[in-house]
Amino acid sequence: MSRPRRDPRAERDNRTVESRGRTRLDFGRRETLPVSGRMRRDPWREWAASLAGETDGERKRYDRSQRQMNRAEAVRFARARETLDATDISPGQPALRVIDEPAFLVFAVVETAGGRLSRFDRQVLGAARLLADAGDGGGAVVAVAPESVEGLGEAGADRLLHLPRAATQRGRTAALKAAVDRLAPRHVLLAEEGDGADCARRLSVALGEPLFANVEHLTARQAVRAIRNRGAEIGLAPPRLMTLGEDRAKPYEAVPCEAREIEGGPATAPADPAILSVEIVPGDPAKLSLSETDFVVSAGNGVSDFAAFRDLAAAMKGTPGASRVVCDAGLMPRTAQVGASGTVLAADCYLALGISGAPQHLQGIAGCEHVIAVNTDLHAAMIERAGLAIVQDAQLVMPALLKLLQERET
């Protein structure tokens, strides 16, 4: 027998700890990892993380944001029970993941609109990371982006390929095709949205390669997409050219990759002779519908000056919204109502002025990534949900915001 013989008495002694004047057995302590390799959950630490104030720590605050405790937070609450070593998430983990000699390449074409990685861009990079680590692994993710943006390495890109920002989609596709011909990636992933979807189809025609569009389910073994108007589906081993549906793949969250820049993109993209002029017309947030906009400024019962609120929404370049109470009172139109019986938002950011956060209202903003709450009640549900919570009267904050915005403008 190669396995060492267990000594139950020694194990028992090892687990005996002194606490409050008497000995007790600490079953939370483990010498080795469990056989499954997964770390134990620490309910004590999770409970400590849900406490409201850092100073008093008396009042339990239920976190309805469904946010997993991340590493930084886990460290912050490490003092909850110092003797327990269950949340050492990955000891000895390297700070940077480097793949020097990639066995193959996976292209992830990201839009980087506004010089930032969007949520969808991160999902495309996450899906590419999944394919690069498939099987024996050793693949490298090449982020194909028009510019270098922050956070590419954290999102899972090993390499960065610059593709010049072309004026036309035809030029962009020609540049991308040249890069694909030169570097011969195993997979090319694009986003099934706007220009990415258009570029994927042009690339498919240019390469003569079939396109597996709008992937709904992606693993290392198979990619699944709906056909026949979502009546049937087909699943294949991940093909070469794919577009990923929104919210279908998880973004990468492990050790940052290096995002080293590589050569290989053409310097300039050819122009399209049929396109005579291109002009971008920015959307007017005041005229957009609530379901289409990306930033909503919303008023609740804590707001009484609605003229100032409308001025504020216009100055902040946001779409005005309101809670049910305000719409019922006739202070804002019914089309502005946010929530289960109004509009369910797809916006990125939500500024709630004087809204306490009824469950029906929180359903309406479940999709918002960033929530800012201004409310007088510390224990309001909206304050718990918010990424930035300010306990202050919204009627006082609104003129201050307007004044600050006017100062910025001049």
Q: Which 230-269 residues touch other proteins, going by CB under 8 A? A: 230-236, 246-250
- CA angle 220-225-231, nearest 5°? 145
Output 137 or 235, the one with its CB closest to other proteins: 235
CB of 338 to other proteins, least distance (A): 15
Q: Closest Cα partner for 390 from 402, 405, 404, 380?
A: 380
Does position 75 interact with other proteins (CB under 8 A)? The reply is: no
Count the site residues for other proteins by CB under 8 A.
Answer: 103
Which of 24, 116, 334, 379 forms a contact with other proteins (CB under 8 A)? 116
Please state, in angstroms and rounded to a whole number, the distance separating the CA atoms of residues 103 and 95: 22
Regarding 392 and contact with other proteins (CB under 8 A), the answer is yes
Q: Which residues between 32 and 71 bind other proteins (CB under 8 A)?
A: 49, 54, 63, 65-67, 70
Q: At residue 19, what is the residue type?
A: S
Beta bridge partners of 261: 160
Quickly list H helices, 29-151.
43-49, 71-76, 119-132
Q: How far is the CB of 397 from other proteins (least distance, A)?
A: 5
391 binds other proteins (CB under 8 A): yes
Q: Shortest approach of other proteins to residue 389 CB, angstroms?
A: 5
Choose between 246 and 258: whose C-beta lies nearer to other proteins. Answer: 246
Q: Which residue has 């008396």 as its token pair?
A: 58
Separation CA 80–CA 4 (nearest Å): 35
Name the minimum Å distance from CB 31 to other proteins. 32
Please tell me the number of Cα atoms within 13 Å of 365 on its side-chain side: 34
Binding residues for other proteins restricted to 287-326, rule: CB under 8 A: 288, 292-295, 316-318
- By the rule CB under 8 A, 103 interacts with other proteins: no
Least Å distance, CB 32 to other proteins, is: 31
Closest to other proteins by CB, 14 vs 406, is 406
End-to-end C-alpha distance for the chain, whole angstroms: 81
Q: Which is nearer to other proteins, 5 or 228 (CB)?
A: 228
Binding other proteins (rule: CB under 8 A), the pick from 40, 81, 177, 201 is 201
Rounded to whole angstroms, the Cα distance separating 383 from 10 reads 50
Residues within window 161-200 making contact with other proteins, judged by CB under 8 A? 169-170, 193-195, 197-198
Best CA proximity match to 175, nearest among 186, 184, 166, 185: 166
Q: Is residue 323 within 8 Å of residue 338, measured between CB atoms?
A: yes
Structural contact between residues 78 and 87, judged by C-beta atoms closer than 8 angstroms = yes
d(CA 100, CA 86): 33
Q: Does 72 bind other proteins (CB under 8 A)?
A: yes
C-beta of 11 vs 292, nearer to other proteins: 292
Kindly state the smallest distance separating residue 180's Cβ from other proteins, in Å. Answer: 17
Q: Which of 144, 175, 336, 351 binds other proteins (CB under 8 A)?
A: 351
Q: Interface with other proteins by CB under 8 A: which range of 84-92, 101-109, 213-221, 328-336? A: 213-221
Q: How far is the CB of 146 from other proteins (least distance, A)?
A: 15
CB of 247 to other proteins, least distance (A): 4
What contacts 403, CB < 8 A, 6 or more positions away?
none
Question: CA-CA distance, 365 to 242, in Å (whole number)?
Answer: 31
Site membership for other proteins, residue 375 (CB under 8 A): no
Binding mask 135-164 for other proteins (x = CB under 8 A): ------------------------------
Q: Cα–Cα distance between 82 and 79 in angstroms, integer?
A: 5
Which amino acid is it at 136?
A: D
C-beta separation of 159 from 260 below 8 A: yes
Distance CA 254, CA 132 (A): 14
24 versus 165: smaller Cβ distance to other proteins: 165
